[in-house]
Structure 1
Amino acid sequence: MALSRHISSRIILNAALFSLLCTAVQAEETQEIFSEQQAITEVRERWVLNLFFENDLFSQTDQQYTNGVRASWVSPDIDSFIDDERLPLWMRQANRLLTPLDPVAPGSREEVSRRVVFSLGQKMYTPDDSEGTSIDPDDRPYAGWLYAGLGYHTRTLNRLNSFEVNLGMVGPASLAEEFQNLVHDMRGFDRFNGWDNQLHNELGVQLVYEHKNRVFQGRLSDTIQQDLILHGGGSLGNVATYLNTGAQYRIGRNLPADFGTSALRPGGDNSVPAHTNGKSTDNWGMHGFVSMDGRWVLHDIFLDGNTFRSSHSVDKEALVGDLSIGVAATFDRWKLSYANIWRSKQFKSQASSHSYGSLTVSYSL
């Protein structure tokens, strides 16, 4: 009888200890989620400036997609794209068409953050041969693209929808030749001789949508985390028409609660949030990332040539893939990242794949 009472007491004691342990773990997880949400909320009142620079000189080449720059400003969180009086009336009326982009179902209690993105950018493309003055039918056209963009980002903790409208000029009006000549003169490089053969001036319009979803998030220690972010979307317009999908895996110290690093793709204009551990005394982090993106390309003006006028063109590849490997560091309100991107052949007569570097600096004002 005494032995039975002893065993029963031990069972009750173990059950009590197990219950206390579960309660403590649940409380810690709840506090962790609360800290992460609180960290994200703290940055919603800030403007964010993003500066992007991509160039193939990082890979010791000067051809194909040879340079890309962009500056973007991400607004503080706004209550509603429709009702917020900080937006002009015409914009609020236009935004009524964008409410289906919210990444939550109607009636959901999940908190949604909404931001507006303003951007200005330029891209340039050149063939392999910098000395030739005539058109090489087996190589890509000279081309530039100067544009301004307006974007709308709606996000929850683990999902982000991005819709962007880019409007600009392809051709000499893009100032790609002048910009490249200026940089080459400053650095003592020879100029490209074939810019007289670039695509003709054409107004470019591009509508872009992309959805990101953080499908996995894990903690390897108190400060080391990992996550996996999937994305999918597409572009429509005379500049580019395609469907794309891909993923990014990140691992490192104090991962930021954003949606990864993707410089000149939609959704790359993230804020620089506090780290996922929510500790104000531990405000720096560093992580590595690997990204993949695949595109089914229906139209690319930089390969297919001008839409309404005869121009130089090449036979493009329908399927194109990118692989990028990089590292990012965050400190206080700053984020700095660098990645090297390898891109598969974009047109049938292209000699080989292409690679370039991508540098991004972000600051929360």
Structure 2
Amino acid sequence: MSLRFTLLLSVFLPLPVLAATVGFSWDNDLFVGADGQYTNGVRISWVGDAHDHCERNGSVTCGLASALSPLPGISLKDEKHALTLSLEQVMITPADISQSVPDYNDLPYAGYSNLEMGLFSWNGDSLFGYGARLGVVGPESGAEQSQKLVHKITGSTEPQGWDNQLGTDLIGGVYFINARRFQQFQWDSGLQGELGYAWGVDANNFHGTATAGGFFRLGRNLPRNFIPDYAGIGTAGSLVGLFDGSGFGWEAFVGSFGEYIGYSYLEHHAEEYDVEARDGVLALVVGGGVRWDNFSFTLTLQSSTSPLRSSDDTFSFGNMSFMWQI
């Protein structure tokens, strides 16, 4: 990793002492037998202790909740509130990573790292989240070093074209997300089911989107988070409420979402390349997970229509997520 990315990572070092939940999430297209385009992504997330009765609580979390209380979904009396921090790094490459010469009919090499901070408020049925992000595109993202390390560990082809990656640029934006448990089921066999949906807007100058989707999950002693998908809509919001229950549980889930693409950094800043973003994509997500009192693991596979007008191939990758309550 680059020095700058390591310094960003150090933001998280003091947090485990105070943390309620820590998560590590890894996307990779090798999980679906591919290697190219969105090739790898890593996210480290922290969700602070839940605070309630914020009308009489003087914590930092409640202070921010009070400042945001005019916004929809933030109630100081009736909801729990938690701060979240996430550090994310993604790597984008052309399909053929063995070539050092740029292929202007494909994607460029691009690395992106960003730090995200949010406030989430929830009750038994719904979740609202607001946040902001700040990041960087280019060599300072550390994406080149991270991808080469992952490919060395997995024995994959070493990427040869990072010398031609997109240059340095700052990224910033704000986001909103809302999720709701629409219906819950309990059968005599002990199995549980849950229908839910989520939607949100992520306004930033890298990949600005509006997304909406739904899911169904089935299992025993289901986790109490609102969104089972840790790779798509969910991000840090998927960890909120995860360990509110106790004991062993498992889940299998399926979901689908649509994403409107309002802005694509690659389309606007890789002028020499044949990159034209579609107006939107449709995606299917399947996965499963297990949970104990203080640990949870989830494996997810995601496939969508291509975000590029020049390609009719599906865009697929897998995700492994590890979560701990500390």
Letter in 2 for 1:53: W
Task: Give me the whole-angstrom Cα distance separating, in 2, the residues matched to 1:70 and 1:169.
Answer: 15
**Conserved 8 A contact 1:138-1:350:** no
Within the candidate set 247, 251, 265, 1:287 is matched to 251
CA shift digits 1:272-293 (9 cap, x unpaired): 3354xxxx6xx21111100111
Contact 2:23 2:46 in 1 (8 A): yes
Looking at structure 1, the residues matched to 56 and 173 of structure 2 have their Cα atoms a distance apart, in angstroms, of 27
Q: Which residue of 1 aligns with 2:38?
A: 65
Q: Are 2:260 and 1:296 equivalent residues in the alignment?
A: yes
Which residue number corresponds to residue 147 of structure 2?
180
Q: Which of residues 150, 156, 161 in structure 1 aligns to 2:128?
A: 161
SS of aligned partner of 2:135: strand
| Distance (whole Å) between structure 2 residues aligned to residue 145 and residue 295 of structure 1 | 20
1:187-239 CA-to-partner distances (Å, cap 9, x unmatched) read 43321122222211111112111100111111112631111111111111211
What is the rounded CA distance, in whole Å, between the counterparts of 2:149 and 2:288 in structure 1? Answer: 30
Task: Indicate conservation of the 8 Å contact 1:316/1:346, yes or no.
Answer: yes
Distance 2:79 2:126 in 1: 9
Q: Which moved more, 1:166-175 or 1:131-140?
A: 131-140
Is the alpha carbon distance of 1:118 and 1:305 closer, same or farther for their aligned partners in structure 2, counting shifts above 3 Å?
Answer: same
In the alignment, which residue of structure 2 is the partner of 1:103? 73
Gaps of 5+ in 2: 1-17
- Which of 236, 240, 246 lines up with 2:213 in the alignment? 246
Which deviates more, 136-145 or 352-361? Answer: 136-145
Output the TM-score relative to the length of structure 1.
0.77
Change (3 A) 1:193 1:114: same
In structure 2, give the amino acid aligned to 1:70: R
Shift of 1:351: 4.8
1:331 pairs, out of 292, 302, 308, with 292
Unpaired runs of 5+ residues, structure 1, are 1-44
Q: Which residue of 1 aligns with 2:239?
A: 269
Residues 1:204 and 2:177 are matched in the alignment: no
The match for 1:4 is none
- Find out whether 1:356 has 2:317 as its counterpart: yes
Q: Which of residues 278, 289, 305 is equivalent to 1:344?
A: 305
C-alpha spacing 1:172/1:81, structure 2 compared with 1 (3 Å) = farther
Residue in 1 that maps onto 2:226:
259
| Partners of 2:24 and 2:262 in 1: CA distance | 29
* Equivalent in the alignment of 1:122: 89
Instruction: Describe the SS at the equivalent of 1:130.
Output: coil
Distance between the aligned counterparts of 2:29 and 2:225, measured in 1?
A: 27
Shift of 1:52: 0.6
Query: What is the Cα-based RMSD across aligned positions, in Å?
Result: 2.5
Quick check: which one's helix share is greater? 1
Equivalent position to 2:117, from 150, 161, 180: 150
- The alpha carbon displacement at 1:179 in A equals 1.1
What is the aligned partner in structure 2 of residue 322 from structure 1?
A: 283
Q: 1:170 to 1:80 in 2, by over 3 A?
A: farther
Residue deviations 1:165-185 (CA, integer Å, cap 9, x gap): 111111111111111112223
CA distance in structure 2 between the aligned counterparts of 1:262 and 1:159, rounded to whole angstroms? 16
Cα distance, 1:363–1:101 mapped onto 2, change above 3 Å: farther
Aligned to 1:113: 80
Aligned residues: 306
Higher mean C-alpha deviation, range 217-226 or range 50-59: 217-226
Q: Which amino acid aligns with 1:67?
A: N
Q: Which structure shows the bigger proportion of residues in strand conformation?
A: 2
1:222–1:273 Cα change, 3 Å: farther
Q: Does 1:231 align with 2:198?
A: yes
CA shift, 1:329, in A, is 0.9
Q: State the Cα deviation string for residues 90-142 of structure 1 (Å, max 9, x = none).
A: x94x65542134537x79x7x30100001112111111011223332321221
Q: Distance in 2 between the 1:274 and 1:67 partners? A: 31
Q: Structure 1 pair 186/360, CA: closer, same or farther in 2 (3 Å)?
A: closer
C-alpha distance in 2, partners of 1:201/1:289?
39
Per the normalisation by structure 2, the TM-score is 0.86
Could you tell me the percent identity over the aligned residues?
Answer: 27
Label 1:76 to 1:188 Cα distance change in 2 as closer, same or farther (>3 A).
same
User: What's the offset of the Cα at 1:65?
Assistant: 1.2
**Cα distance in structure 1, aligned partners of 2:53 and 2:133:** 22
